[in-house]
């Protein structure tokens, strides 16, 4: 807002309206005077300017439109001078936020920036006329836009009307202005790059950044030997880390870009230039891997092209150079002696290696670039914390080892030797505060994955004395698992998982070992009673279910005792609170249990007193039905749900002796009677659906079969329908007899049904 919008110059009062008249002067001599008056007016005007009102920005837009029009028509230097003064002095924070809801004010702001876009478009055509003056004008425009972006984004960062300012930047086509200026002028590019970098820090502008074409330009520069700086690469990184899928759209010749990135990295590390550019190049390479821009077959194909060979050679050169560097000096010495960014480079390289291992071994899995971003640009380290750096490198090394182990790369690492070395290292550690030691946790993480993925190694190396020691540690941790220190609780949770996972593998390999029996009694009762820990720790829950099933199936825990201690009931309660995935796991475990005659008898007797298992199976059936109803394309997903429904059908069929015992629960509960009837006919209904599908394909001429086969199919469909009808009739008879409470007739009818099943 201006204190006044007119100024006394040479004893003459001037305001915007007066300027419009002066602009139409034809006399050459007076033009010089007019230019001086207008420039003086602008200098005073902007000196006293705070924020523009609606009238002020309208006046400014009219003035700017007139000046630009005159400049285009008459091509006079005087107009360049006026525009130069305008852009050099207009305040970058000219928007009056109090008027943000005034649509006319917002339109005038857009109009202001659109006029700048039009001016820049014209300047392209006349850049050979008075080049020095035009260049000065362009520099002043870039400086103004740069300041405007810095101030505006700072307000957005403070959450100050961020939606309003986002809309202004997008609708005013400011990115388009920057793009035009960058493509057409060689100077002041650093400022444009910096503004673009700031803009890419905000996800709100992702779509505009992609559309403006700057990302593709910077990628193109990467595929050539053109100079690029770390901010250019950071702009690409900012865009792709929020939407990794666009990386494929940005890169045309992928191997050329990748090879140039690796060549740049190798050149820099040989010169010990571990700078931001080097680090960002490596980061970008990791995102390219994550974006599936590298075909994993490159690592297996013997007939590679030149580009693929160069890629493997350059990657090996970088790894070999750093390996030799680390072999000559210890990591600690390197961290102290090298550039302070060497540590960051090394961490990212380890992440890249881990991602490459995932790419080679699991090409269909999602790769995630994991690195603790330390805001390298804004927060440079004042001094190197060597211990912390060593810790991060340790953790990343273990991640690489575990990644190779998970993917069974036994030909690369001798896991027997590694396993024995890790066990020795754990023995060396002092018991005092052992669980605070990050290396201790990582050691057991590696032991866990090696045991889990290498059965032969675990058989050879897991000794009883070591397992007893782990069991004791497990008991100690379980007492302290609810400690108030959140960080310590997370460590305990991890160690509890690793301890239990290792014991689980030992038990699997040593089912006859007596040292495991006390732990089995403890763990089954403890976890099923506690419940909450299982539900909150999915990987532990999965290991526990595998362990429980193994123990029950192999009679290491008597099932009668399992029921007497109410552990079956506890398991069913956990089932009710579990996710769909874990419900399915428990269902498959129950399926295995009822296949054992002794367990089936125990559960059948248990049902006479407690019908909870019926309840949870019917609820799960309804849950599956609801999921099927929500499926948009049933043909793609319904089969996996039908597999689960068949398991429920089979379990209930076994527990009710072909649906002839313990039916009162379903008959008395009206909410379940319909679902139970659906379960009874499920098997026959599924077969009928298959036959009907074949029949439909024949009618639509998608399938051709012999006439005799059609008759056989029709007969099968008929018999299947009759069978379903018979089951439904039986159900209604049972329901009716149950209502009449005629027990003798009901039992006789059940016997009749059982005889029919035996005959079948």
Mention every residue, 6+ apart, whose C-beta is less than 8 A from residue 601: none
Ranges 175-179, 336-340, 671-675, most confident = 175-179
- Residue indicated by tokens 């300041």: 147
Q: Is the pLDDT of residue 11 over 50?
A: no
Residues 100 and 106 sit within 8 Å (Cβ to Cβ): yes
| pLDDT for residue 312 | 80
What is the 3-class SS of 548-573, one letter each residue?
HHHHHHCCCCCHHHHHHCCHHHHHHH
Percent over 90 (pLDDT), the chain: 27
- DSSP for 11-63, please give it: TEEEEHHHHHHHTT---HHHHHHHHHHHHHHHHHHHHTBSS--HHHHHHHHHH
Spatial distance between the Cα atoms of 463 and 735, rounded to a whole number of angstroms: 60
Mention every residue, 6+ apart, whose C-beta is less than 8 A from residue 445: 398, 402, 494, 498
- Residue indicated by tokens 């010495």: 333
CA angle 136, 138, 139 (to 5 degrees): 65
- DSSP for 310-333, please give it: HHHHHHHHHHHHHHHHHHHS-HHH
- pLDDT 10s digits, 198-218: 999 999 999 999 888 888 888
- 236-240, 306-310, 554-558: range with lowest mean pLDDT: 306-310
- Residue indicated by tokens 């007139």: 66
- 372 — pLDDT class (breaks 50, 70, 90): very low
Nearest to 60 by CA among 37, 89, 32: 89
CA angle 543, 549, 555 (to 5 degrees): 135
Spatial distance between the Cα atoms of 484 and 600, rounded to a whole number of angstroms: 44
- pLDDT 10s digits, 246-273: 888 888 788 888 889 999 999 988 888 8
| pLDDT for residue 580 | 93
Compute the average pLDDT of residues 752-757. 58
Token output for 310: 């160069």
Where b means 16+ CB within 10 Å and e means fewer, 160-186 reads: eebebbbbbbeebbbbbbbbbbbeebe
- pLDDT 10s digits, 285-316: 888 887 776 665 555 566 667 887 888 888 88
Residues 94 and 49 sit within 8 Å (Cβ to Cβ): yes
Mention every residue, 6+ apart, whose C-beta is less than 8 A from residue 92: 144, 147, 148, 150, 151
Collapsed DSSP state (helix, strand, coil) of residue 228: coil
Sign of the four-CA dihedral 412, 415, 417, 422? positive
Nearest to 312 by CA among 255, 234, 247, 351: 255
Nearest to 440 by CA among 427, 452, 453: 427
Residue 463: what are its φ and ψ, rounded to 5°? Answer: -100, 160
Collapsed DSSP state (helix, strand, coil) of residue 9: strand
8: β partners: 13
* C-alpha separations of 175 from 113, 199, 605 in Å: 11, 9, 75
Sign of the four-CA dihedral 607, 612, 614, 616? negative
Start-to-end C-alpha separation, the chain: 94
Residues 384 and 332 sit within 8 Å (Cβ to Cβ): no
| pLDDT for residue 585 | 95
CB atoms within 10 A of CB 548: 21
Spatial distance between the Cα atoms of 512 and 453, rounded to a whole number of angstroms: 22
CB atoms within 10 A of CB 519: 19
Where b means 16+ CB within 10 Å and e means fewer, 702-730 reads: eeeeeeeeeeebeebbeebeebbeebeeb
Residues 4 and 48 sit within 8 Å (Cβ to Cβ): yes
Compute the average pLDDT of residues 178-191. 77
| pLDDT for residue 356 | 77
Q: Is the pLDDT of residue 757 over 60?
A: no
Residues 181 and 141 sit within 8 Å (Cβ to Cβ): yes
Q: Is the pLDDT of residue 163 over 80?
A: yes
| pLDDT for residue 446 | 83
12: β partners: 9
- pLDDT 10s digits, 48-67: 877 888 988 998 898 888 88
* C-alpha separations of 565 from 259, 383, 553, 732 in Å: 65, 60, 18, 38
The single-letter DSSP state of residue 435 is: G
Using CB atoms within 10 A of its CB, is residue 73 exposed (0-12), middle (13-18) or buried (19+)? exposed
pLDDT higher at 150 or 658 = 150
| pLDDT for residue 6 | 44
**Plot region of 385 (φ>0 → left; ψ -120 to 50 → alpha; else → beta):** beta
Q: Is this structure's pTM higher than 0.85?
A: no
Residues 236 and 242 sit within 8 Å (Cβ to Cβ): no
Mention every residue, 6+ apart, whose C-beta is less than 8 A from residue 621: 645, 648, 675, 678, 679
Q: Is the pLDDT of residue 414 over 50?
A: yes
Q: Is the pLDDT of residue 394 over 90?
A: no
Residues 240 and 247 sit within 8 Å (Cβ to Cβ): yes
| pLDDT for residue 546 | 94
- 119-133, 288-302, 360-374, 554-568: range with lowest mean pLDDT: 360-374
């Amino acid at each position: 807002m201006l204190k006044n919008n007119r100024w006394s110059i040479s004893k003459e009062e001037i305001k915007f309206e007066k300027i419009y008249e002066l602009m139409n002067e034809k006399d050459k001599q007076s033009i010089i005077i007019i230019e001086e008056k207008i420039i003086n007016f602008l200098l005073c005007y902007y000196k006293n300017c705070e924020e523009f009102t609606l009238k002020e920005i309208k006046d400014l837009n009219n003035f700017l439109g007139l000046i630009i029009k005159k400049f285009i028509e008459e091509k006079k230097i005087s107009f360049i001078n006026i525009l130069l003064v305008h852009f050099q002095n207009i305040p970058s924070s000219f928007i009056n936020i109090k008027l943000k809801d005034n649509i006319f004010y917002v339109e005038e702001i857009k109009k202001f920036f659109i006029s700048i876009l039009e001016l820049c478009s014209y300047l392209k055509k006349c850049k050979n006329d008075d080049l020095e003056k035009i260049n000065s004008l362009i520099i002043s425009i870039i400086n103004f836009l740069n300041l405007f972006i810095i101030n505006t984004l700072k307000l957005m960062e403070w959450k100050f009307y961020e939606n309003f300012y986002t809309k202004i930047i997008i609708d005013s086509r400011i990115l388009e202005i920057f793009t035009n200026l960058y493509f057409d002028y060689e100077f002041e590019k650093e400022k444009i790059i910096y503004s673009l970098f700031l803009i890419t820090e905000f996800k709100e502008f992702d779509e505009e950044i992609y559309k403006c074409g700057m990302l593709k330009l910077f990628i193109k520069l990467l595929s050539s030997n053109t100079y690029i700086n770390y901010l250019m690469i950071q702009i690409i990184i900012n865009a792709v880390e929020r939407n990794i899928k666009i990386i494929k759209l940005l890169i045309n010749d992928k191997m050329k870009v990748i090879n140039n990135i690796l060549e740049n990295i190798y050149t820099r590390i040989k010169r010990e230039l571990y700078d931001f550019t080097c680090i960002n190049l490596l980061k970008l390479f990791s995102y390219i891997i994550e974006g599936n821009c590298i075909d994993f077959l490159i690592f297996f194909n013997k007939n590679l092209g030149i580009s693929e060979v160069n890629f493997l050679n350059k990657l090996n050169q970088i790894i070999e150079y750093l390996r030799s560097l680390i072999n000559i000096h210890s990591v600690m010495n390197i961290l102290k002696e090298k550039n302070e960014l060497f540590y960051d480079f090394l961490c990212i390289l380890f992440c890249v290696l881990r991602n490459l291992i995932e790419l080679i071994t699991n090409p269909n899995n999602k790769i995630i670039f994991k690195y603790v971003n330390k805001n390298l640009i804004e927060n440079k380290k004042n001094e190197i914390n060597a211990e912390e750096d060593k810790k991060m490198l340790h953790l990343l090394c273990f991640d690489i080892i575990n990644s190779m182990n998970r993917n069974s790369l036994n030909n690369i690492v001798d896991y027997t030797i590694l396993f024995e070395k890790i066990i020795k290292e754990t023995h060396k550690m002092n018991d005092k505060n052992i669980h605070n030691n990050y290396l201790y946790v990582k050691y057991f993480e590696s032991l866990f994955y090696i045991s889990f993925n290498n059965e032969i190694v675990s058989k050879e190396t897991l000794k009883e004395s070591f397992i007893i020691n782990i069991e004791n540690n497990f008991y100690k941790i379980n007492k302290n698992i609810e400690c108030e220190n959140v960080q310590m609780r997370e460590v305990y949770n991890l160690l509890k998982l690793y301890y239990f996972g290792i014991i689980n593998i030992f038990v699997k390999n040593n089912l006859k070992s007596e040292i495991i029996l006390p732990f089995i009694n403890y763990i089954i009762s403890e976890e099923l009673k506690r419940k909450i820990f299982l539900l909150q720790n999915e990987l532990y829950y999965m290991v526990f279910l595998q362990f429980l099933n193994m123990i029950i199936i192999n009679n290491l825990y008597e099932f009668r005792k399992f029921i007497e201690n109410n552990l079956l009931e506890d398991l069913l309660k956990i089932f009710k609170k579990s996710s769909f995935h874990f419900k399915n796991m428990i269902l498959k475990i129950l399926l295995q249990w009822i296949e054992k005659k002794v367990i089936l008898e125990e559960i059948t007797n248990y049902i006479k007193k407690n019908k909870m298992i019926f309840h949870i199976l019917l609820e799960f059936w309804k849950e599956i039905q609801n999921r099927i109803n929500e499926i948009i394309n049933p043909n793609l997903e319904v089969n996996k749900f039908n597999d689960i429904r068949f398991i429920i059908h089979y379990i209930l069929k076994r527990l009710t002796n072909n649906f002839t015992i313990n039916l009162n629960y379903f008959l008395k509960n009206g909410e379940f009677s319909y679902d139970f009837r659906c379960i009874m006919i499920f098997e026959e209904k599924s077969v009928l659906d298959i036959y009907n599908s074949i029949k439909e394909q024949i009618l639509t001429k998608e399938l051709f079969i012999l006439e005799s086969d059609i008759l056989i199919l029709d007969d099968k469909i008929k018999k299947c329908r009759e069978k379903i009808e018979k089951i439904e009739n039986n159900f209604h008879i049972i329901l009716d007899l149950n209502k009449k409470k005629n027990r003798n007739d009901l039992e006789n009818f059940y016997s009749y049904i059982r005889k029919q099943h035996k005959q079948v």
